[in-house]
Amino acid sequence: MKGWTGTFLKIDLTNNKSIIEQYQESLASNFLGGRGFAAKILWDRLKAGTDPLSPENLLIFATGPLTGIGLPNSGKLVIASKSPLTGGYGDGNTGSWAALNIRKAGYDALIIEGKAHTPVIIHIKDKTCEFLDAKDLWGKNSFETEEKLRKKYSNLAGIVSIGQAGENLVRFATVVSQEGRAGGRPGMGTVMGSKNLKALVVEGTQPITLAYPQEMKQLAIDGYKEILTKPNYSFWKRQGTMNTVDWCQENSCLPTRNFKEGVFDKAEDINGFTMEKIKVSNRGCPQCNMTCGNIVKDSEGKDSELDYENVVMLGSNIGLGNLKQIATLNRMADEYGFDTISLGSIIAFAMESSQKGVISEKIDWGDFEAIKALITDIAYKRGLGAVLAEGVRTAAKTFGGDSNNWAMHVKGLEVSAYDCHTAPGMALAYGTSSIGAHHKDAWIITWEIQTGKDSYNQAKAEYLIKNQLIRGGAFEAFTVCRFPYTPLGLQLEWYQKYLKASTGQDFSIERINQISDRILTLIRAYWIREYGNRWNRDLDVPPPRWFNDPLTEGNQKGSKLDLDKYQTMLSNYYSIKGWDENGVPKKSTLKKLGLQNEAIQLEKHVKMKE
């Protein structure tokens, strides 16, 4: 095989063993890599109903045929597992030197199972894999952990670790790399903690065999140059995703006070231009020339890496309008190893619950000191923090009353940073995303607002599906960053050329779309297999707040979603995908995608249409 190593490393933490596995070429050509590999491995090897925090769960670090071969934005890694937050498929991607090193060590993916008896670090160097005592690192935050390991290993080693949130099994803990590049929103750090795995260090020294290495070298040079020519390149370097704050404010979709409103009175204090005034440098993933991490000094003088999502979820969504203080909360989140989106959502949920008297604890919007204390309590699962550490879906059940009405999640994953009172298509993107309410699979809100935000028509469902195939399918399987493609506008043809030079194979748009559809459909089947009798189409409906509580501020005052029209749009979506009225893929759909064996297995868990 060219472009892939053809090899996985299976690591058994219970017995301190590792086995090198050769996989079949058909796996690569059908599932490509990254998310595709992860979905297939979880489907094939993880027994239905496995407890996500049990030793049996698998933690997968997967790369793709474009990862780590000198191409623009190719230092990405997919981390996947059965999610302890949602109970369904979970993954996330992160920029890390670990991505390159896994490939250079000779693997396309690491599959970790079992549970170490005491805290360990896995150290992989090419074909060796050792298990090292991590007792002295347990209890340390992710920055301290990486710093200590960085001193011990080479500067180029790939290091990922968890902080105290992962150790203490907070259900939205992430895996952290390179001081704040975190991945795996649905609790991938939690799974790592459940396995007593504090960190992974990978050092690879082998070349990756490519089909056309000379062409690849030239394509990489040209690709980097092409990115520099994009009209919004320099503004991107200045602000990264932070320019979205103003756009969302103008269009009434800036999450504010637990998604109650779409505008924030202090938006200017947290926008990209305010950030530029305190910015000290850029930080980014390996092999990237459009680094989008904005480093600022926080209110305590520490470096903090800001982007749109963390600023908004730990800012306007919790009523905080001071960027340096937001930076402090963000730094705390990265040190403890929390997902910032879920953290911001669960804090906002607690604030609204406090305001409405559902809980006795007092916590006001924007109360910086109280928020800091609460974040620490969540990390160590103390008092109210212990309830919030379970995520917003479970916390709403514990709080009771009508708190579910302001619990902002889909399938247990907290909604990321776009308010959808005025955006039914984006709401559908959240409703049908592969991991719960995340924007990674499809970000159609700007298109939607430009082309007709009030419509719930079939064209919207069609556009969403195309977007999901590219963003949630293709880029997650290539395992490279999607930002050169969107928003910068590097055409898909570049990726087809990259794939050809890497693998020697032709990848037409039709072939890419079919692989993506296969991956996303398998993930859907995975959710249904895990949920069994509990599966129903209401799981694809976003939170009640967007249907019931109209906006009371801003130029879209009075707006809310229409549930009947949303349901019709959802039915259209299912019909285009070849799924039945409950969102279950039909047997014929699975067969068309080459998933006939999966159809036979799925039928044991749910009633399926022909």
Which parts of this chain interact with ligand SF4 (CB under 6 A)? 73, 95, 284-285, 288, 290-293, 481, 483
Nearest CA-CA partner of 183 in 435, 493, 526, 516: 435
Task: Identify the sign of the CA torsion 208, 214, 220, 221.
Answer: positive
> Which CB, 83 or 93, lies closer to ligand SF4?
93
> Could you tell me if 265 and 315 are in contact, meaning their C-beta atoms sit under 8 angstroms apart?
no
Min dist. Cβ of residue 425 to ligand SF4 (A): 24
Nearest CA-CA partner of 447 in 431, 461, 466, 463: 463
Tokens of 138: 């347990």
Min dist. Cβ of residue 297 to ligand SF4 (A): 20
> Which CB, 169 or 296, lies closer to ligand SF4?
296
The rounded distance, in Å, linking the Cα atoms of 197 and 159 is 12
Min dist. Cβ of residue 122 to ligand SF4 (A): 24
> Which CB, 289 or 457, lies closer to ligand SF4?
289
> Which CB, 285 or 396, lies closer to ligand SF4?
285
At 80, is the secondary structure helix, strand, or coil? strand
Min dist. Cβ of residue 289 to ligand SF4 (A): 8
> Which CB, 164 or 330, lies closer to ligand SF4?
330
> Which CB, 204 or 284, lies closer to ligand SF4?
284
H helices of 19-95, where? Answer: 25-31, 35-45
Nearest CA-CA partner of 43 in 486, 610, 593: 593
Min dist. Cβ of residue 295 to ligand SF4 (A): 12
The rounded distance, in Å, linking the Cα atoms of 98 and 201 is 7
Min dist. Cβ of residue 165 to ligand SF4 (A): 22
Neighbour tally for 117: CB within 10 Å:
10
The secondary element (H helix, E strand) that includes residue 510 is helix 509-531
Neighbour tally for 347: CB within 10 Å:
27
The region, left, alpha or beta by phi > 0 then psi within -120 to 50, assigned to residue 188 is alpha
> Which CB, 88 or 484, lies closer to ligand SF4?
484
Min dist. Cβ of residue 308 to ligand SF4 (A): 12
> Which CB, 220 or 481, lies closer to ligand SF4?
481
CA 258 to each of CA 245, 315, 349: distance values in angstroms, whole numbers, following the listed order: 16, 11, 6
Min dist. Cβ of residue 488 to ligand SF4 (A): 9
Min dist. Cβ of residue 183 to ligand SF4 (A): 10
User: Shortest Cβ contact with ligand SF4: which residue?
Assistant: 284
Residues in CB range of 162: below 8 A, 6 or more apart: 142, 145, 173, 174, 175, 176, 189, 192, 193, 197, 198, 199, 337
> Which CB, 293 or 578, lies closer to ligand SF4?
293
Min dist. Cβ of residue 181 to ligand SF4 (A): 7
Tokens of 292: 């989008």
> Which CB, 224 or 547, lies closer to ligand SF4?
224
> Could you tell me if 69 and 210 are in contact, meaning their C-beta atoms sit under 8 angstroms apart?
yes
Min dist. Cβ of residue 256 to ligand SF4 (A): 25
At 553, is the secondary structure helix, strand, or coil? coil
> Which CB, 263 or 292, lies closer to ligand SF4?
292
Amino acid at 496: Q
Backbone dihedral angles phi then psi of residue 133, each to the nearest 5 degrees: -60, 130
> Could you tell me if 574 and 581 are in contact, meaning their C-beta atoms sit under 8 angstroms apart?
yes
